[in-house]
């Protein structure tokens, strides 16, 4: 029976694991060992809607408390400056290309292939730089946590809030470095710390970041390398204090010569990062290219990463969570979602097995993890494979060499049938991104298909009316500074949630 858990690592992964397990299983003894000398990675700021859902719906944290502490900027989606269009938006509404308005016989993707702007409300909001529609009573029209909205988080604020929440929940902390590991059946028997002490726990979580001290180093689990699909392995990351720039309620993703560059807005700061392939450009060249798109950035630094995951994420009495278990790449900001899911699967599994997890539970966990990693790899690879914005060595290689793996049938179907979604259940069973994600990228990148649709005037009228309605709502909507001001008031949350 698992009575005690030792978490190695105090970054967002280790802290979220400790918090999830302690909150869901309060009788567990949970200790986090972290090193203030090594510190945390300091990137990890874009999210998808599952992350707020995890904190609020799964863990039950108060929305006002978390909002006030984290000061997130709402992320309605990603604006891609990829492909031949000036830009296209991939929003979290689920109402873009695979969506069908009741008055129209076909999916939006058929009507919006040439001009997808304002096909859903979030893309109309993004065009105006607005974060949320305004209700008739003047309050922001805030959806339920985990639907349509994600956050931009400042890594420092997130880690600090997680630590406070962990301490309140009764998690213990030790600031020390790992000095040795004693392995044994069924995985780790004990760890030694550089303060001379030793820890023995029933279960260990490896959240030691890319060092992967337990899963990778001590247990020697093989690494499934994704570099055959995804060629980027470094980023130049930096930021600056906001000047007079408007707060963007979305992530901007811009194609650069040997990769792409994010812009992630926080209330008072703007972060930019150039994700690049070290096989195609040097660190110095990457910094130079970065400075052109982020001239105000202060002290940009190079962050290295390896795309892939350790084959098993749960081995005996050890599970890896966060970068220690794997990382694909920053595009689409999926890492905190994977971390949240891993924490949830562990907590639910331990609750259902009364803290005596079975071998079949471990096998299932590893299978789910493996499938999730491959889905993310292939979804991101699809982005790169079809981006024809630039004709550089890096992008030519992406178009020529990136394999589609399990997505080949989906892409063939799309080429022959256009943005139809009748294939969704068959070609993408249980896929995390759903048909909407794939169509958002295929149509967004203007991948040609054989079913261009010349809609008759009556249908076009309905189509334009929908877009106009979205634009009108967006016109009266509120920007992020107003949303931040209003949502710092608990009374507003009470009114919004009908309390």
Ligand X SMILES: Cc1cc2nc3c(=O)[nH]c(=O)nc-3n(C[C@H](O)[C@H](O)[C@H](O)COP(=O)(O)OP(=O)(O)OC[C@H]3O[C@@H](n4cnc5c(N)ncnc54)[C@H](O)[C@@H]3O)c2cc1C
Burial class of residue 169 in the structure, from the number of CB atoms within 10 Å of its CB (0-12 exposed, 13-18 middle, 19+ buried): middle
Q: Tell the smallest beta-carbon distance from residue 191 to ligand X (Å).
A: 9
Phi, psi of 144 (to 5 degrees): -65, 150
Closest-CA residue to 18 (of 63, 28, 68, 372): 28
For ligand X, the closer CB: 23 or 234: 234
24: left (phi over 0), alpha (psi -120 to 50) or beta: alpha
For ligand X, the closer CB: 376 or 381: 376
Q: Tell the smallest beta-carbon distance from residue 321 to ligand X (Å).
A: 7
Structure tokens at 258: 């040997």
Which residues lie below 8 Å from residue 373, measured CB to CB, with a gap of 6+?
224, 226, 308, 309, 326, 328, 338
Phi, psi of 446 (to 5 degrees): 60, 40
Q: Tell the smallest beta-carbon distance from residue 152 to ligand X (Å).
A: 8
* In contact, 274 and 256? CB cutoff 8 Å: yes
- CA 151 to CA 52: how far, in whole Å? 7
Secondary structure tally for the chain: helices H, strands E: 16, 21
Q: Tell the smallest beta-carbon distance from residue 276 to ligand X (Å).
A: 10
Compute the Cα dihedral for 162, 163, 164, 165 and give only its sign.
positive
For ligand X, the closer CB: 293 or 303: 303
In DSSP notation, 195-210 reads TS-EE--SEEEE--GG
For ligand X, the closer CB: 317 or 323: 323
For ligand X, the closer CB: 346 or 496: 346
Q: Tell the smallest beta-carbon distance from residue 457 to ligand X (Å).
A: 44
Q: Tell the smallest beta-carbon distance from residue 397 to ligand X (Å).
A: 21
For ligand X, the closer CB: 164 or 358: 164
List alpha helices for 105-215, DSSP H.
108-111, 121-128, 155-169
In DSSP notation, 292-304 reads HH-TT-EEEEEEE
- CA 97 to CA 107: how far, in whole Å? 6
For ligand X, the closer CB: 178 or 286: 178
- CA 455 to CA 391: how far, in whole Å? 33
Q: Tell the smallest beta-carbon distance from residue 201 to ligand X (Å).
A: 15
For ligand X, the closer CB: 323 or 369: 323
Q: Tell the smallest beta-carbon distance from residue 455 to ligand X (Å).
A: 38
For ligand X, the closer CB: 113 or 158: 158
Binding site for ligand X (CB under 6 A): 8-14, 33-35, 38-41, 43-47, 177-178, 207-209, 211, 213, 235, 237, 273, 303, 305, 322-324, 327, 330, 333, 335-336, 339
Q: Tell the smallest beta-carbon distance from residue 303 to ligand X (Å).
A: 4
């Amino acid at each position: 029976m698992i009575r005690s858990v030792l978490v190695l690592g105090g970054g967002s992964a280790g802290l979220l694991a400790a918090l999830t397990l302690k909150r869901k299983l309060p009788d567990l003894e949970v200790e986090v060992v972290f090193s203030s000398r090594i510190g945390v990675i300091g990137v990890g700021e874009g999210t998808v809607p599952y992350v707020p859902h995890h904190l609020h719906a799964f863990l039950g944290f108060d929305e006002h408390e978390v909002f006030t502490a984290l000061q997130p900027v709402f992320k309605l989606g990603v604006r891609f400056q990829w492909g031949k269009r000036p830009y296209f938006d991939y929003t979290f509404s689920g109402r873009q290309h695979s969506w069908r308005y009741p008055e129209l016989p076909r999916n939006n993707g058929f009507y919006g292939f040439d001009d997808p702007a304002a096909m859903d409300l979030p893309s109309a909001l993004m065009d105006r730089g607005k974060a949320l529609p305004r209700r008739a009573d003047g309050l922001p029209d805030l959806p339920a946590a985990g639907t349509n909205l994600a956050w931009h988080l400042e890594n420092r604020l997130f880690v600090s809030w997680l630590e406070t929440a962990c301490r309140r929940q009764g998690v213990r902390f030790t600031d020390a470095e790992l000095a040795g590991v004693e392995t044994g059946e069924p995985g780790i028997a004990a760890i030694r710390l550089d303060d001379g002490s030793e820890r023995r726990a029933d279960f260990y979580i490896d959240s030691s970041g890319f060092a992967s001290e337990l899963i990778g180093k001590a247990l020697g689990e093989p690494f499934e390398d994704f570099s055959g699909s995804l060629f980027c392995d470094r980023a130049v990351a930096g930021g600056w204090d906001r000047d007079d720039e408007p707060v963007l309620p979305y992530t901007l993703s811009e194609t650069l010569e040997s990769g792409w560059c994010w812009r992630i807005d926080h209330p008072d700061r703007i972060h930019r990062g150039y994700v690049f392939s070290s096989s195609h450009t040097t660190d110095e060249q990457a910094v130079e290219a970065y400075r052109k798109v982020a001239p105000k950035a202060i002290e940009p630094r190079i962050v290295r990463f390896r795309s892939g995951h350790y084959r098993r994420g749960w081995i005996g009495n050890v599970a890896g969570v966060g970068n220690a278990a794997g990382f694909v790449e920053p595009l689409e900001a999926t890492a905190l979602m994977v971390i949240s899911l891993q924490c949830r699967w562990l907590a639910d599994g331990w609750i259902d097995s009364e803290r005596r997890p079975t071998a079949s539970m471990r096998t299932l966990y590893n299978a789910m993890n493996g499938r999730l990693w491959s889905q993310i790899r292939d979804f991101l690879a699809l982005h790169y494979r079809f981006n024809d914005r630039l004709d550089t060595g890096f992008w030519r290689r992406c178009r020529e060499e990136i394999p589609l793996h399990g997505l080949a049938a989906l892409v063939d179907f799309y080429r022959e049938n256009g943005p139809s979604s009748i294939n969704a259940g068959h070609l993408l069973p249980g896929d995390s991104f759903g048909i909407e994600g794939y169509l958002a990228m295929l149509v967004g990148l203007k991948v040609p298909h054989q079913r261009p649709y010349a809609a008759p005037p009556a249908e076009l009228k309905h189509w334009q009316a929908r877009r106009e309605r979205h634009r009108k709502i967006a016109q009266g909507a509120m920007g992020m500074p107003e949303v931040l001001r209003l949502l710092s008031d608990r009374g507003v949350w009470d009114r919004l949630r009908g309390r």
